[in-house]
């Protein structure tokens, strides 16, 4: 009798633990938004943004794969990219080759040397899922380098010279993800340049991660000593607050300044919302913060560029002052709430 009671208690405990784990997995939601400011050697400034969403909810039921002990992860990417300049128009504007590609990569547990028949069947089944979802034909390509090499895994690669960006974007929008995803409405001033989707195990549960790259129309030529202010809301043609997704465990916002190796220096003058300077090297400065559970009025940056020989002292004072301010704010934010760096970066 006592043994039966112990058995029942054990089953109840196991059921409770499993329910808690499943509830936790179902409520996991992380998002990140990065605004990239790129200044080339010609001093032309271009802008693009990257949105990332991690969630247990994907575009199809993958339980037949995630329940297989040999399955590790898979990745699909689609893009339309410009290659080298091939000719010029009458007004001397360049004409480029445009490449279209959809890339599917499947990783299964193994030795990394001798692929198994079962592993290949998993890869083929996933490939068929992607073909049905997008309505395209993928070809197996051997002897490719894995995008994300994983020890003790076998790797299968499938390619198509057809881009499925429009279908990919439609599938993402149908999910109606909250938070940062709502910024990119169909009538906003942007174009989808690349989309990626990955399924992999995180903290014991399989999670889907979408990553989308948006390009903004135009660009502008910068001049020495001139101050410039860039607003994400203005670029998107909106004025509402930027809100994190309700219940998100992380809502990371970053601004990255990318600088060419040219005879000038980039000087950041101000940034909104308040962010922490997380990285600084000769060609990149990064600011970031986590606004989970809150909202901000905008993501706005102010900067200028100066000639290297023009005024080292002015550049030094501006960067040190902004860095010191960011450090002080960072200390305050850490005390108020632990700043979490996303575990889901690829």
Q: What is the pLDDT of residues 171-230, one digit of tens each?
A: 999 999 999 999 987 666 788 989 999 999 988 899 999 999 998 877 888 899 999 999
Q: Which two tokens stand for residue 313?
A: 């002292």
pLDDT at 264: 82
Q: Which two tokens stand for residue 213?
A: 């790259």
Rg (Cα) of the chain, in Å, rounded?
24
Q: What does the mean pLDDT of the chain come to? A: 79
Average of pLDDT values for 301-317?
69
78's enclosing H/E stretch is: strand 71-88
> Maximum distance among all alpha carbons in the chain?
93
Residues 196 and 28 sit within 8 Å (Cβ to Cβ): no
pTM for the predicted model, two decimal places = 0.77
Residues 301 and 230 sit within 8 Å (Cβ to Cβ): yes
Q: What is the pLDDT of residues 268-293, one digit of tens each?
A: 899 999 999 887 777 888 999 999 99
pLDDT at 4: 42
Q: How confident is the model at residue 98 (pLDDT cuts 50, 70, 90)?
A: low
pLDDT at 186: 65
* C-alpha triplet 241, 246, 250: angle, nearest 5°: 90
Q: Which residue has the tokens 């299964």?
A: 108
pLDDT at 25: 36
Q: Could you give the percent of the chain with pLDDT greater than 70?
A: 72
Q: What is the pLDDT of residues 46-66, one digit of tens each?
A: 889 999 999 998 999 999 999
Q: How confident is the model at residue 333 (pLDDT cuts 50, 70, 90)?
A: very low
Phi, psi of 82 (to 5 degrees): -90, 135
- Kindly tell me if the per-residue pLDDT of 26 is higher than 60: no
Residues 325 and 275 sit within 8 Å (Cβ to Cβ): no
Average of pLDDT values for 90-115?
71
Cβ within 8 Å of residue 158, ≥6 positions away:
103, 104, 105, 106, 123, 127, 130, 138, 139, 140, 141
Taking alpha carbons only, the member of 183, 176, 289 closest to residue 239 is: 183
Distance CA 346, CA 290 (A): 18
């Amino acid at each position: 009798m006592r043994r039966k009671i112990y058995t029942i208690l054990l089953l109840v405990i196991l059921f409770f633990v499993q329910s808690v784990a499943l509830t936790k997995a179902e409520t996991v939601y992380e998002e990140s938004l990065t605004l990239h400011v790129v200044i080339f050697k010609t001093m032309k400034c271009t802008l693009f943004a990257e949105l990332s969403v991690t969630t247990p909810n994907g575009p199809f039921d993958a339980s037949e794969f995630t329940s297989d002990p040999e399955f590790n992860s898979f990745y699909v990417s689609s893009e339309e990219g410009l290659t080298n300049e091939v000719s010029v128009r009458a007004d001397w504007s360049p004409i480029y080759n445009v490449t279209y590609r959809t890339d599917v990569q499947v990783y299964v547990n193994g030795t990394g040397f001798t692929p198994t028949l079962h592993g290949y069947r998993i890869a083929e089944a996933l490939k068929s899922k992607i073909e049905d979802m997008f309505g395209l034909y993928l070809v197996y390509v051997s002897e490719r380098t894995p995008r994300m090499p994983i020890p003790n895994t076998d790797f299968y690669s499938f390619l198509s010279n057809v881009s499925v960006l429009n279908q990919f974007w439609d599938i993402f929008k149908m999910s109606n993800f909250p938070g940062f995803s709502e910024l990119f409405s169909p009538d906003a001033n942007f174009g989808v340049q690349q989309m990626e989707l990955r399924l992999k195990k995180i903290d014991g549960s399989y999670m889907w991660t979408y990553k989308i790259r948006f390009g903004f129309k135009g660009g502008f030529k910068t001049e020495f000593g001139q101050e410039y202010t860039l607003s994400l809301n203005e670029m998107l043609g909106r004025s509402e607050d930027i809100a994190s997704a309700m219940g998100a465990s992380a809502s990371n916002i970053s601004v990255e300044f990318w600088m060419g190796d040219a005879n000038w220096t980039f000087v950041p003058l101000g940034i909104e919302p308040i962010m922490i300077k997380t990285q600084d090297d000769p060609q990149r400065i990064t600011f970031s913060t986590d606004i989970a559970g809150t909202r901000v009025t905008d993501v706005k940056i102010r900067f200028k560029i100066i000639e290297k020989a023009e005024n080292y002292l002015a550049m030094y004072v501006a960067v040190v002052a902004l860095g010191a301010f960011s450090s002080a704010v960072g200390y305050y934010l850490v005390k108020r709430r632990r700043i979490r760096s996303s575990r889901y970066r690829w």
